[in-house]
Every structure is written in C-alpha cells, then in structure tokens.
Structure 1
Amino acid sequence: MALIRFASLVLLLALAGCTTVAPKAPPPPPYAAATVQAQTLAAGHAALTGPARRDNAEAILQLLAGLDDATLTRDAARLSANDPLYPFVARVLQQRGLPLPHPLSQSEFRFGAADRPPAASDGWRPPLRVAVLLPLTGPQAPAAAAVRDGYLAGYYNSNRPRPQVRFYDTTGGVRAALARAAADGNDAAVGPLIREDVDAVFADTPPLPLLALNRGEHMPPEGSAAFSLSPEDEGVSLAEALLEGHYRHVLLIVGDDDAQRRTAATAQARLQQRNVQVSRLAYAPAMTDSLTSAAQQAHPDAVLLLLKGAQARVVVPQLALANLAGLPRYAGSQITQGTGNPTQDAALDGTLFPTEPWLAQRIPSLPTQREAAARVDTAQGPAARLFAFGLDAWQLTGMLESLARQPQTTLTGATGRLSLDAFGMVVRRPGWSRFSGGVPVPVTDATP
C-alpha cells in the first residue's frame, strides 16, 4: 500500500513537471524607438562641426518631434540631465510649453563681462556697454528702425541699471561693424538682424557675446544666443496649437510669398511628423471647386490659412460654399496685413492667429502700444511687430543670463513667453487673438 502511494506521488510530480507555463512577456523597452535612434545621433554630436553638426541636430529634433507629449515627457524623465540627448529633448519640451524634468546644465553661461555688478533679485544683470548692430541704411533700414525704436523705448522706460548703448550700421559689412564694436570697448552686442549676417558672425567665434536677432544655419557659439520672429518659428507655433487641439487632418491654404511658404513648410512637416494628415492648396482668387473637392475627399477637421488679410477675406466665404465654414480656422500672423476695417474684416470672424501680446495688453516694465505709438510711427501698423521685437531684445539684454541659469523660468515679453534652450536659442510662445466683430480680440489659449 505504501508502495502504491509512493508511485502515485511520483506520477503526480511527473505530471506537474509537464504542465506548460506561459512565458512572461518581455518588459517594454525603456525608450521609444525614435528616442533610441536620437540617442545614437546625440552621442556623437559634440565631435561634429559645420554643416554635419547642423544636419545631425536637425535629424535628432525631427525624430523627437514625432513623439507625442506623453511619450516625450516619459522619455525625458528617464534621461539624466547629463545625457547628450537631454538638451535636444528639453528644446522640444520647451517648444510645446511642457515642463522640464531636470534643469539644463547651463550654470556657467555668461553674456558679457564677468566683472559687472551682481544680478538683481529678479535676475536682471545687463552688460556694461552694449553695441546694437542693425542695417541702419539701405533696403533693410525701415525694419531696422522699428527694432531700434522698440529697443530704445524699453531702454528709456526702464528704471533699472542700464548699460551704455551705441548703434553700429551693418550695411557696409557686419564683420567690420562687429570688429569696431569690440575695439570700442563694448562687452556684449545685440544683433545683427539680417539672416545672412547672423550666419557670417556665427561661422566663427565672435569677438563679443551676441544676442543675434535672427537665426541662420549656425547654432550660437557658447555664451551667445539667438532670438527671432522667423516664419519657421511661427510654423512651429501654429503646428503646436493644432496638435494641442487634437486635429487629425488639416486643410492648409498657402499664399505665394516667401514667408508664407516658409511658414507652411515648417508647419506641414511638424504636423506630419506627428501623424497629422495635411492637404495643401495654393491660394487662388477663385477656389470654390478645389475647396469642395478637398472637403469631399480629405474630410479635414481644421483649416490653416497662411494668407494676408485681403486674400483671407476672399477665401473664407468660399469655405462656406464648400461646407467648410464650421471647421476651426487658424491663420498665420500675416492675416492682419491689410486689415483694419471692421466691416470688411467681419468676414474673418472666428479666425485664430498668433500675435504679440503687447499689441493688445500691458506688459510689465514696458510702455503700452498706445503710449509708444503717440511718440513714434514705428509702434503702429505693420512695423509694430518689429517694434515689439525690439522691446524684447532690450529685455533679453538684461535677462539672458538668468534665463540660462534657470531654464524652467520664462520672461513675459512683448512678443510672447520667452525662455532659453540649451543651445542658446530663445524659445517663444506667442499670444493668440481671434477675429470677432471684425476686430482681433486676445484669447487665453489657442484651442477654439
């Protein structure tokens, strides 16, 4: 009997050993595939120079741009602050207005002389002597005048410590102007304004730390920065607003000038990286048929107009004829060009577009738009946007080092919320307005 019980026990143990155990599922990868690819590129980034470095940075940013907010935030939190990829991830987070999980390693950033007075409690620490490099003569002089006037308006409105300021004309050659500024004893420079001039001064290490007022092919050297109202920056802002609205198919209508095309290219690429479909149409005075076809075939859920005001007033009624009037409608900032008559501009009602908050509200420590317009013509009309840009160039002159040391903070600027990424690029989150009753009205967010 005992032998039988023993045999039964052996049989049960044998059967138990034959039981199939389902294998455990492998743990999910620690990072998204695009993040892993970006890490590989970032590991060798520091050793690259010139066009190869620029192309590598663009490839990294394109990979990260394809990640949704949740994945990007998760992977960012898993990276250490010293990971070569983290500055790139932080840049994309800042563009989307998302918090950084770790501070950026910028504690040694310097903009100007190290022996100037210590920073104020809010971080204000301007250089001692500033050279402002602008094309004061020639075809770009009107744009330069608006930037200059905005810079001086901020300067003279300030009751904080101010540097000595001297203007240098870059029309005869930006390198020569910068050399003169350095020889004159300036310890920092603001400008240049023209894109090609920025490329020229950033091709090598400039003799002075620079806050360039445009962006080109070269990243700012260590200790310098770049601030821009470029069409590419606006394309990013428009794409991010549409992504925040969770639209999946955007109808894009584009004019034929250079700025419109550049904005469109950036917005379209950014949207498609995030798996948003884009149907693109070229502007034409009569386009009801093409709009109807797009409505029937593409079924868009939002419209983006990269047009000037007169063009948009022609297109919007045709959207209604194509049964697209009920869709959320976004536009680039150029939509305000050629507007100002509320009766005519009522056709644009409901259209949401990025703008400079200073044009509609008071910004702390800055003169209002109405106050400035009473003194100089450049503070009103089409030039007002560049005037606001000049106001922010003045604010950044004294706050750049603070923004670098505390990248989680932002500066309330005339052109939007400003922050500084790890590459010395000023990141701008614009304000937004919507046409209502034929008049632009500020809104608090970009989601209709």
Structure 2
Amino acid sequence: MRHIGQAGKFFTLTAVTSVLLLSGCGSTPKTQSKPVVVKPTPVETSKVEEKVTPEHKLLEAKKIWERTRNKEQRDALLLQAADLYLQNQQPVLAQQVLYEVKEDGISGGNHSYYSLLVTKAYAGMPNASVEELLAMLDDVKATGETAFQKAELQTQLFTQQGNYAAAANSVLQTNLSDEEKVHQVWQWLTTIPKDRLHEVGRAYPALAPFITLRELTEKNASSPASLARELQNFQQVYRGHVLENTLPDNVLKATQLTDAGANDIAVLLPLSGRLARTGQAVKNGIMSAYYTDVEKRQDEHLLPRLRFIDTNGVDTQHLLNEIGDTKFIVGPLLKDTVESLIPNLPVGVNVLALNRPEELAAPAIANGTSPNNSVAASPKSLLDDDLQSSGSELTAAEEQGELDTIDLANSMNYFGLAPEDEAKQLAEHIFSKGYRAPIVIAAQSSLYQRMHTTFKKHWKSLNDQENKRRTNITSVTFNDSNSLREGITQALDVAQSNDRINQIEYMTNDEVYNMPRSRRDIDAIVAFASPQDTELLNPIIEASLNPYDGKQVPVYATSRSMDYDSGKNQWRDLQNVHFIDMPWLMPSHSWQSLQQEVEQAWQNQNTMQKRLFAFGFDAYQLLPQLGMLNTLKYLSHEGLTGTLSLNQQGEVIRKQPQAIIRNEKVQMLSE
C-alpha cells in the first residue's frame, strides 16, 4: 500500500543519514540500541532515552546491519528514529524514513509499531485518507502506552470524519483525566440528534451511561429539583463509573437552578386599538396553556397570578409603573416597545419578550441593569410588518437564565417566529437533500424579498462550508401573474427553447414537431410568495417543465404560502408542493383534545389567529423550562409552533415539520 500523502523520494537528512540509506540500511522498522531493550511486540513508543537524536538511532541501525544483518533489529531502530522525528515536530523526515522502511518490507514484529507511526505522521494532513489511517490503526496491538496513543489517534481521526459517537467512545480509552474525558464525551454526545441515541448506544456500549444521563436530563427539563433527585439515583446505579463522581458541569449547574416558581407574571400585550385582535389571540393561547396547567396540578393556587397590561398608547414610564415589583414579564409584543422598555427595567427582572429588537448589545448595563440581565443581539424582526398586514407571523422571546445558583435567574431571550428563520430552515433542508442549483421565486414585496435575501445569504454560507465558490441560484422576482409567468419561463430556459423552434421552422418552412425543453441543471424550485400567488405559481411551473425529461423538480415553500381557510381548491393547485409549517396546523399533531377544546371556545379561527394562539400557548409553556434550556443547550421543547431550543444568544431556534400536498390533502413527511 502506498504511503498516504507521500512526501517524495528526497529529504534532507544529515550526512550520516545519507550514508546510512545509501549503504543499504534503506528503510526498515526500528529496534532500540543497547541502552534500550528491543520489544517488537508490543512496541511502546515515546520511551526513548533522553538526549538521543534520530541520527543516533540511524547510526545504531547502520551498525546493527553491518555487524549482524539482523533486519528486525535494524528496522526497529529506524522506526525509533522516525518516532523521534515526530516528537521533534519534523514529520517530513519521519515520513521519509517510514517510506524507506515500507519499501524494504515490514517484518511482522514491527508491523504494529510501523502502523502507529504512519498514522501519527499523516493524521491531520489535508491529503491523507482518514479511512485508510483508521484501517491502519486496526493493526496496532493496543497495550500499555501504545493503547493510549492508539485511542488518541482514533479520537482525532473520528473527529475529522465527523463521527462524534466513535470519537466519544475512543476518548474514554485515552489517558486523559476523568474530568477531561467526561467534558469531551458530553460535548460530543449532546450534539447527536435524539433519535440516533439508541443506535449509538448499541454500537458503543461504553457510552450507554452518558446516554442514560442525557435522557434523564431531558425527562426532568422542567424541574431542577427533580433532576437533582434523579441524579442521586443515577450515581447509585453507576457506582464505580467515571460519572459517579464526575458529572458534566452544565448538568451540575442545572441542578442548582431554582424551579421557576413565579407567583406573579405581567403579560404586556396590545389589548385595544388596531392590534387588539392580534393581542387577544396571543392572550387566548397564554390562558389556554395556563388552564392546561391547572388541570395537571389539580390546584389553581399552585399557579402564578397573571396580570395583563395593555400596551396600546402608553409610554415606557406607564408600563414601568404597571409592572412594579413583578419579576417575570411576558412581552411586549411590538419591537419599538421592546427596545424602549428593556433598557429601563430594574435589576432581577426576567423577560420573555414577544418580539426581537433590531440589535442590542449584550450584556447591557443601563439604569442599574446588571451584567446578569443579559440582552442578546438579534436579527431584524418582521413583527411590525406582519401586524400591519395581519397576514404574517410574530416574533417572540424566551428567557435566557443565568446560571447563578439559588437566586432567580435574570434573563432576556427571544423566541422567534420570524419568516427569515423559515427561509434559513428551508435552505438547510434543501441543501441537506443534495440539491445545489435551485430557482428562487419571490414576490416583489418587502416581506418576501427579505426571505429571498436570507435564503441566498444562508445558501452561500452552506456552499462556503463545502469550499464552493459558486452558489448556482437563479432568482426570479415578480409583481403580477404576467411577470410571474415570464420570469419562470425565462429561468427555466423555456422561452429560449421556443425561440429556437420558431427559428428552425422559419428557416425550413416546415412545422417542427418538438416540445420546448426546460433547463436540466435545475434541481429544486423555492417559492416565497403569498398563498394566492403560490396557487398561480405551481401550475405555471408544472406547465413549463418538460414532461419528457423524466425528471421531477420539487417545489418548496414556507408557511407563508399556506392558507388553511381557502378550501380544497387551494390544495388542488398546490399539488406536490413541499412546505414547512407549525405542528399545530398539521392534520396529525399530538394535541387533538386541545384542538377540540379550542374550536369549541373560539369558533371560526382563521389561519393567522391559529398561529397566534399557538405562539401564546408555547410562550407560557416555555416559562418554567427557560432556565434549563439556557443551561443545557441540547434540550428542546416540543411545542405547537415547532421543536424549540435555545442558541448561545438566548434566541429560540424553531424547527418546523415538513409536509407535502398530495391528492388535495396535507400529508406529513418523516424527514
């Protein structure tokens, strides 16, 4: 087998080395000289004498060869020379010695040592094959120090490969301290999707206790006290395991949080004026979640008192007076109100704002706000545009709890339903499916152009990760049905195909029996448009694609293209369109009994009101979990609006399920 990333035949050893190689000592595994006992199997590395240089080993190898013609001893010494070159940060010289050893044939007793050194010499090099190096490590006999080095190399290679489960399994076999092992395993294990944990546990039994710990934290996400009790039982079960005395830092911090036992919550919403219906829909969701808790606890006195404060037409000082000493706030809803109120809040207030500000420095220290009262920078929110058009979604905020111990955490988080977030999720999904040349069709309005811009920007970042310079996006912008049809046919190259057919007919005076052909490089179509425009767009796309190409080009949209009030005609025109939307609006969600109660209480809710209701419901349900979600970033909450988790800036990351229109019905997709 050729060397991986071979450095070439030449290298600049000392004069002694050159003589050695020319004299037939060539390239062969090494044995240690007189002061060091040769042990071909297993070979312990990094145990050579102090002040011994690689050149000393090369000279010893030459002498052994001239005196005894013992190839095994000579090669062992050459391998020790290569080992010393690696320790001296001279990988090119080590690679040349290893190459010469390989060319002369590797004896069985030195094969394990040789495989280990080759892996050390080439691991991390850009042209090295990770798979080949891992295969070489399989030949290394893992005993003593060699076992630790093998585990370290496997950890490095599996990490390069992105196989974090295997890397976590390998790091447990290194000689790192218990604290370092737990920290690294936990860091990797919490990046693995929840639905893969069972598979990982079967493949790597040593990770089973860590998986159990993660499941335990997820089960007790709403109660730090309950988590602390369960951890005591966990440590009893796993006595003698590294996790008995060394738990991950963030898990320990989570147990020190206090349960979110707020007895007074102020909810800031516009309950009068032009946005009264919007505020009322959010309020309905909050109240529904509140009474759901009443039923669970069977005791209304255990729940906090909710105070709704109308933000319409009042100034910041009036809101501060209304809030008083309340430590928990939900809202405000409008971006301007969020930006004016937050800097003026006193120390110790926990805010679940229902909009994202333009941009705020973090942490903010204003009017006595402590560093604990952190405010995260956030992307631009579309809430105000949405409310004015009353056909769009909101942005909300979630609380980022500081990891202080006994006191209630000061926090500021943002729970977003912004359309830009949907554009990013769509870009990630389409990219993960392997599509690389989409057409993006966007209506010529501020809302959809923002989504278009976000998609293109995120698409470029995804391509950058693959070191691709071209993003291969074809953009189409329209403002009416005519420009829509013209833009699609031009983007698909159908218009040019028709022109070519007409030109041939003109030149030959014969009718050309041919179909106009669409571009074959296009692999997906993305639509950012209103439900009405999307209903027009989909049939135009189907008519423009050449049916004889035998190629299906999927059409993708966001929730902004879906209106559940239009009846079955809409679904007919949207046949085969893929889209993302809230679980609450999907036909087979997990809250059927709640849906029946909502339909009885608030009849004839339109699509927008249903989304606002889900938004309010999730906002209330997140309250008791915010501290844990901020502390254990891998935790998530399955809400009506999607799977919700927190990023490092305290913003909610929302993943919505995918669906497709088939036979005039919405069908959920599993991926």
The TM-score with structure 2 as length reference comes to 0.49
- Which residue in 1 is equivalent to 2:569? 343
> For residues 164 and 343 of structure 2, what CA distance do their matches in structure 1 show?
34
Letter in 1 for 2:276: A
Quote the offset at 1:327 in angstroms. 0.9
Contact conserved, 2:441 with 2:526, CA < 8 A, in 1?
Answer: yes
Contact conserved, 1:132 with 1:168, CA < 8 A, in 2?
Answer: yes
Quote the offset at 1:341 in angstroms. 2.1
Letter in 1 for 2:634: Q
> For residues 408 and 300 of structure 1, what CA distance do their matches in structure 2 show?
36
Distance 1:202 1:367, change over 3 A: farther
Q: Deviations over 1:37-89 (max 9, x none)?
A: xxxxxxxxxxxxxxxxxxxxxxxxxxxxxxxx976979x999xx99xxx9xx9
Distance 1:272 1:174, change over 3 A: farther
- Which residue in 2 is equivalent to 1:201? 341
1:168 aligns with 2:364: no
Q: Secondary structure in 2 aligned to 1:346? A: helix
> For residues 11 and 262 of structure 1, what CA distance do their matches in structure 2 show?
66
> For residues 254 and 198 of structure 1, what CA distance do their matches in structure 2 show?
30
Within-5 A mapping of 1:265-414:
265-275=453-463, 276-283=471-478, 284-286=480-482, 287-296=484-493, 299-323=521-545, 326-337=552-563, 340-360=566-586, 361-363=588-590, 368-377=594-603, 379-414=605-640
- Which residue in 1 is equivalent to 2:233? none
Quote the offset at 1:376 in angstroms. 1.6
Q: Which has the higher strand share?
A: 1
Question: Identity percentage over the alignment?
Answer: 26
> For residues 94 and 174 of structure 1, what CA distance do their matches in structure 2 show?
47
Letter in 1 for 2:427: A
Distance 1:373 1:388, change over 3 A: same
Q: Secondary structure in 2 aligned to 1:171? A: coil
Distance 1:265 1:162, change over 3 A: farther
Distance 1:182 1:382, change over 3 A: closer
Segments of 5+ residues of structure 2 without an aligned counterpart are 1-16, 28-81, 83-91, 96-120, 127-159, 172-178, 198-206, 211-222, 231-257, 363-373, 376-409, 464-470, 494-518
Contact conserved, 2:286 with 2:616, CA < 8 A, in 1?
Answer: yes
1:438 aligns with 2:664: yes
1:152 aligns with 2:277: no
Letter in 1 for 2:277: P
- Which residue in 1 is equivalent to 2:327? 187
> For residues 288 and 18 of structure 2, what CA distance do their matches in structure 1 show?
94
Contact conserved, 2:477 with 2:487, CA < 8 A, in 1?
Answer: no
Contact conserved, 1:134 with 1:170, CA < 8 A, in 2?
Answer: yes
- Which residue in 2 is equivalent to 1:44? none
Q: Secondary structure in 1 aligned to 2:488? A: helix
> For residues 125 and 322 of structure 2, what CA distance do their matches in structure 1 show?
53
Q: How many residues align?
A: 371
1:125 aligns with 2:260: yes
> For residues 193 and 453 of structure 2, what CA distance do their matches in structure 1 show?
17
Q: Deviations over 1:90-136 (max 9, x none)?
A: 9xx7999999x99xxxxxxxxxxxxxx97556997342211111122
Contact conserved, 1:272 with 1:278, CA < 8 A, in 2?
Answer: no
Letter in 1 for 2:481: P
Quote the offset at 1:373 in angstroms. 2.1
Q: Secondary structure in 2 aligned to 1:274? A: helix
- Which residue in 1 is equivalent to 2:124? 28
> For residues 424 and 317 of structure 2, what CA distance do their matches in structure 1 show?
34
Within-5 A mapping of 1:10-49:
13=20, 15-16=22-23, 23=93, 24=95, 28=124
Contact conserved, 1:378 with 1:384, CA < 8 A, in 2?
Answer: no
> For residues 72 and 271 of structure 1, what CA distance do their matches in structure 2 show?
24
> For residues 261 and 70 of structure 1, what CA distance do their matches in structure 2 show?
38
Distance 1:72 1:170, change over 3 A: farther
Quote the offset at 1:428 in angstroms. 1.0
Letter in 1 for 2:533: Q
Quote the offset at 1:187 in angstroms. 1.8
Q: Secondary structure in 1 aligned to 2:492? A: helix
Letter in 2 for 1:188: F
Q: Secondary structure in 2 aligned to 1:140? A: helix
> Which of structures 1 and 2 has the bigger CA Rg?
2
Higher RCO, Cα 8 Å, sep 6+: 1
Q: Deviations over 1:140-179 (max 9, x none)?
A: 2222111111111111122234211001112234633541
Quote the offset at 1:250 in angstroms. 1.4
Quote the offset at 1:285 in angstroms. 0.5
- Which residue in 1 is equivalent to 2:135? none
Distance 1:167 1:119, change over 3 A: farther
Contact conserved, 1:279 with 1:294, CA < 8 A, in 2?
Answer: yes
Q: Secondary structure in 2 aligned to 1:139? A: helix
Letter in 1 for 2:450: R
- Which residue in 2 is equivalent to 1:215? 356
Contact conserved, 2:265 with 2:330, CA < 8 A, in 1?
Answer: yes
Contact conserved, 2:271 with 2:279, CA < 8 A, in 1?
Answer: yes
Contact conserved, 1:362 with 1:368, CA < 8 A, in 2?
Answer: no
Letter in 1 for 2:523: D
Within-5 A mapping of 1:221-300:
221=375, 223-275=411-463, 276-283=471-478, 284-286=480-482, 287-296=484-493, 299-300=521-522
> For residues 436 and 420 of structure 1, what CA distance do their matches in structure 2 show?
34
- Which residue in 1 is equivalent to 2:651? 425
> For residues 423 and 17 of structure 1, what CA distance do their matches in structure 2 show?
63
Segments of 5+ residues of structure 1 without an aligned counterpart are 1-9, 31-68, 103-116
- Which residue in 2 is equivalent to 1:107? none
RMSD of aligned Cα (Å):
4.0
- Which residue in 2 is equivalent to 1:38? none
Letter in 2 for 1:262: R
Q: Deviations over 1:376-416 (max 9, x none)?
A: 24854321111100110010112212222322221110011
* Mean Cα deviation higher: 336-345 or 147-156: 336-345
Q: Secondary structure in 2 aligned to 1:214? A: coil
Distance 1:376 1:12, change over 3 A: closer
The TM-score with structure 1 as length reference comes to 0.71
Q: Secondary structure in 1 aligned to 2:610? A: helix
Quote the offset at 1:14 in angstroms. 7.6
Contact conserved, 1:146 with 1:387, CA < 8 A, in 2?
Answer: yes
